[in-house]
Structure 1
Amino acid sequence: MVRVNEILSQIVQVDRPMNWGGLATLKPYVNFFAEDDAKALKQAMDVKGVDEATIVKILSNRSWDQRQLIMKAFYKQYNMDLETSLKKKLSGNLENVVVCLLKAPEDRDAQGLKEAMKGLGTDEDTLIEILSIRSKGELQLIVAAYQRDYQKTLEQDIKGDVKGKFQALLLNLLKGQREDNSNIINHELIEEDARALHTITIQKKPDFNGWIPILTERSQKHLNRVFKLYKVYSSQDITETIKKQMKGDDEKGFLALVHSIQDTPEYLADRLHQCMKSFGTKDGPLIRLLVSRCENDLLSIRAEYRKKYGKSLYTTIQGDTKGDYRTALLSLCGGEDL
């Protein structure tokens, strides 16, 4: 008990900052005129062969708000939808990244979730990534967008595509009940949660469904304190417990969730690495990750990527993609890390 009290008394000192704002690689373009950009995009589409370089230069260097203003200006000037017009002129991954830049964040995520569950096999990594790091408000928008776009609820599709504790984990995340981070430290609840997690592991037949409410409803800061105290009770890190006592999708899902809670930038750096390692690039998740994080925290993710993999994210993208598609991704990445 002395050891536990010592940990609890010091636990305030072990927080890593959770606010990654101001670490965007894509910021509002300074000399911005929506009407001029709309005109330039129309000219780029009308030229013989399509001026893809100009399309990339404009759209990958404008903020989300600016891209929305360009879409409105384009429609006002030409009575045409910009996204539809670009789809007719572009193809392949370049089309995908341009369309992704124009989509609302909730529509991007809804599409990512749908693609993760369609056809044979499931992309469990994408499911857990999107659902684990989105806020309550973002999850509500995603749920609404999914039902609007696909005429089925996201809950229905998850139930039909995955099973076991992994399904229960995803469905609880989908409820969006995670508490917001707070500077108030509830030592009693930290100890209660750490004990509860440990108690489940030492049962004859551990029911890890009991972990799910704690892991999906407590705040990120609170859980990082719980994980540190858990190690005191169990003499092993929580990730070690998961690896020893779970398997398959359950193991993968719980490990990913814990990693995203412990260190979001490192977790997302790993996700980007997974998209580009070995044979065949996972272009869909790669595009969505870069587009969704470039106006948020991509600088912190880049730093973690460089530290963990010994080369920059910029260099990896450069070696893994080509053409105007590569130019667009590198623009979103924002620069080299030496």
Structure 2
Amino acid sequence: MVLVNEILGQIVQVDRPMTWGSLATLRPYANFLVDEDVERLKRAIDTKGVDEATIVKILGNRTLEQREQIAKNFKKQNNADLETVLAKKLSGYLENVMISLLKSPTLLDAQTLKEAMKGLGTDEDTLIEILATRSSKEIQAIKSTYKQEFQKDLEKEIVSETSGRFQKLLVALLTNQREVNSNIINYELIEEDAKSLYAVASQKKNPDFNAWIPILTERSQNHLNRVFKLYKVYSATDISETIKKEMKGDEEKGFLSLVQSIQNTPEYLADRLHNSMKSMGTKDKTLTRLLVSRCEVDLLSIRAEFRKKYGKSLYSTIQADTKGDYQTALLGLCRAEDL
């Protein structure tokens, strides 16, 4: 016990309280005049061929709160819904960016989850990404919005589209039981959790990884990072290596993504961005959604992790992978080059 306590005492995890918007790339537009923006948007929309550059310049440089004011005043002055008008006037990837910017983060998440389960193939990567990186409060709001938007229960939909331990993991995340980070460090519980995780992994036949799920989905992020460090002391391999060795398929994908997001959320999302652009065909919906959903939260830290891991900036990667006004819109959200 003395040795364990000594090891625990040496486990250092920087608890980083995050101020909303402190790591945002998109900040409130200083000279915001809502009526002027509405007037310029109307002219840009009515111009023959549509002035896409002006639409991008306005909506891509206003925060969500400012965009909501623009949409509200546009409807009041023109008796027309801005999102509906833009959907008719724009097309392709640019349309997706501009329409996404007009949605609340909760609605965008709900619609993305619906899209991920539509058709023959379920997009497991997107399901786990959203559920693993949203707070308990955010998940509760997503569930409510999903019910309101589609008249269906999100948990039931996920159960019908997934199976096995991956399904159990998603359902556990949906119950939003995760504790918030605290300055109080419970060393006894860290030891208990690390031993519990290792006890399961060390079983020689058919380890029951269901026992991992409550720990991974209910404990706080800071607590789990300490648990993962102690787990490596017990097992001589880190928890990600255990997952890769012992699991496969959707189960492996789900547990690995969850652990990675807990260990370093910005790095995990940087990986998601990189994967959306690394092959011949860019996954534009994923690229757009990540930039739109994180530009007012923590995109600066994601950019830093992207540069550190891949040796090039997110900005230049987007620049090389996109073009036109669509490129301009995405680069505007990314904001700047990281040298």
Q: State whether TM-score is above 0.5.
A: yes
Equivalent residue number for residue 232 of structure 1: 233
Higher mean Cα deviation, 13-22 or 322-331? 13-22
Give the letter aligned to residue 327 of structure 1.
Answer: T
Equivalent residue number for residue 290 of structure 2: 289
C-alpha contact (below 8 Å) 1:143/1:154 kept by paired residues: yes
Trace 1:76-225 onto structure 2 (pairs within 5 A): 76-203=76-203, 204-225=205-226
Q: CA deviation at 1:120?
A: 2.1
Q: CA deviation at 1:314?
A: 0.5
Q: CA deviation at 1:18?
A: 5.3
Any unmatched runs of 5+ in structure 1? none
Equivalent residue number for residue 15 of structure 1: 14
Give the whole-Å Cα distance in 2 for the aligned partners of 1:145 and 1:277.
Answer: 33
SS at match of 2:280: coil
Give the letter aligned to residue 60 of structure 2.
Answer: S
Q: CA deviation at 1:205?
A: 2.3
Higher mean Cα deviation, 14-23 or 48-57? 14-23
Give the whole-Å Cα distance in 2 for the aligned partners of 1:45 and 1:217.
Answer: 48
C-alpha contact (below 8 Å) 1:20/1:297 kept by paired residues: no
Q: Closer, same or farther in 2 for the Cα pair 1:95/1:115, shift >3 Å? A: same
SS at match of 1:19: coil
Identity %: 68
Q: CA deviation at 1:151?
A: 2.1
Give the whole-Å Cα distance in 2 for the aligned partners of 1:218 and 1:27.
Answer: 32
Q: CA deviation at 1:19?
A: 2.5
Give the whole-Å Cα distance in 1 for the aligned partners of 2:5 and 2:91.
Answer: 60
C-alpha contact (below 8 Å) 2:34/2:70 kept by paired residues: yes
Any unmatched runs of 5+ in structure 2? none
> What per-residue deviation string (whole Å, max 9, x for no partner) do you get for residues 135-178 of structure 1?
11111111111122222211122111111111000010011110
C-alpha contact (below 8 Å) 1:129/1:256 kept by paired residues: yes
Q: CA deviation at 1:16?
A: 5.4
> What per-residue deviation string (whole Å, max 9, x for no partner) do you get for residues 51-104 of structure 1?
000000000000010001101111111111111111110111111100000001
Q: Closer, same or farther in 2 for the Cα pair 1:2/1:201, shift >3 Å? A: same
Aligned residues: 337
Query: 1:332 aligned to 2:333?
Result: yes
Give the letter aligned to residue 17 of structure 1.
Answer: R
Q: CA deviation at 1:123?
A: 1.4
SS at match of 1:222: helix
Q: CA deviation at 1:298?
A: 0.5
Give the whole-Å Cα distance in 2 for the aligned partners of 1:215 and 1:277.
Answer: 30
Higher mean Cα deviation, 69-78 or 18-27? 18-27
Give the whole-Å Cα distance in 1 for the aligned partners of 2:276 and 2:140.
Answer: 27
Give the whole-Å Cα distance in 2 for the aligned partners of 1:23 and 1:230.
Answer: 31
Equivalent residue number for residue 323 of structure 2: 322
Give the whole-Å Cα distance in 2 for the aligned partners of 1:79 and 1:69.
Answer: 15
Q: CA deviation at 1:20?
A: 6.5
SS at match of 1:14: coil
Q: CA deviation at 1:2?
A: 4.4
Equivalent residue number for residue 280 of structure 2: 279
> What per-residue deviation string (whole Å, max 9, x for no partner) do you get for residues 106-150 of structure 1?
110011111111112221111111001111111111111112222
Q: CA deviation at 1:268?
A: 0.6
Normalising by structure 1, what TM-score? 0.97
Q: CA deviation at 1:15?
A: 2.6
Give the letter aligned to residue 266 of structure 1.
Answer: E
Give the whole-Å Cα distance in 1 for the aligned partners of 2:285 and 2:220.
Answer: 29
Give the whole-Å Cα distance in 2 for the aligned partners of 1:9 and 1:266.
Answer: 26
Give the letter aligned to residue 39 of structure 2.
Answer: K
C-alpha contact (below 8 Å) 2:13/2:222 kept by paired residues: no
Give the whole-Å Cα distance in 2 for the aligned partners of 1:167 and 1:71.
Answer: 38
C-alpha contact (below 8 Å) 1:71/1:82 kept by paired residues: yes
Give the whole-Å Cα distance in 1 for the aligned partners of 2:194 and 2:19.
Answer: 27
Higher mean Cα deviation, 1-10 or 273-282? 1-10
Give the whole-Å Cα distance in 2 for the aligned partners of 1:93 and 1:149.
Answer: 23
Misfit runs of 4+, over 3 Å: none
SS at match of 1:260: helix
Trace 1:29-40 onto structure 2 (pairs within 5 A): 29-40=29-40
Give the letter aligned to residue 324 of structure 2.
Answer: G
Give the letter aligned to residue 135 of structure 1.
Answer: S
Give the whole-Å Cα distance in 1 for the aligned partners of 2:15 and 2:271.
Answer: 19
SS at match of 1:73: helix
